[in-house]
């Protein structure tokens, strides 16, 4: 068998591995309609944190997800434009409402 044929046969599989692939996004960008608007629900600061109020918060802010933050709790600093973060005190009174 010709050595050139063997060399080509050995190189072809390696050539397939070098094809350039498009970059992959690590996190998908949420659609614009899922963006959070915390200003729209600031009137709920001081209310008691309940499931019903949580529904009002999601509906009023347009956020896709709701994150409740109990007192003295550490939270991640990652920003998600579709998430509403609500902090409350020991008496379950909402102290702060923000997006992210």
Task: For residue 7, name the pLDDT band (cuts at 50, 70, 90).
Answer: low
Higher pLDDT, 16 or 95: 95
Q: What is the pLDDT of residue 5?
A: 72
Helix (H, G, I), strand (E, B) or coil at 94: strand
Tell me which CATH code domain 33-100 carries.
Answer: 3.30.10.10
Q: Model confidence over 18-58: pLDDT tens digits?
A: 555 555 555 555 555 568 999 999 999 999 999 999 999 99
Residue 14 host element (H or E): helix 3-17
- What is the pTM for the complete model shown? 0.65
Question: Could you tell me the residue ranges of all domains in the chain?
Answer: 33-100
Report residue 77's pLDDT band, with 50, 70 and 90 as the boundaries: confident
> By C-alpha distance, which of 37, 46, 36 is closest to 87?
46
Is 70 or 30 the better-scoring residue by pLDDT? 70
Estimate to the nearest angstrom the gap between the alpha carbon of 86 and the chain centroid: 16
pLDDT reported for residue 3: 75
**By the 8 A CB rule, do 63 and 31 touch?**
no
Residue 10 has pLDDT above 80, yes or no: no
């Amino acid at each position: 068998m010709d050595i050139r044929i063997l060399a080509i046969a050995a190189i072809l599989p390696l050539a397939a591995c070098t094809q350039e692939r498009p970059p992959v996004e690590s996190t998908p960008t949420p659609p614009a309609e899922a963006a959070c608007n915390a200003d729209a629900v600031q009137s709920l600061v001081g209310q008691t944190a309940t499931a019903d109020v949580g529904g009002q918060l999601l509906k009023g802010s347009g956020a896709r997800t709701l994150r409740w933050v109990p007192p003295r709790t550490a939270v991640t600093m990652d920003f998600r434009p579709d998430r509403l973060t609500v902090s409350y005190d020991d008496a379950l009174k909402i102290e702060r409402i923000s997006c992210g």
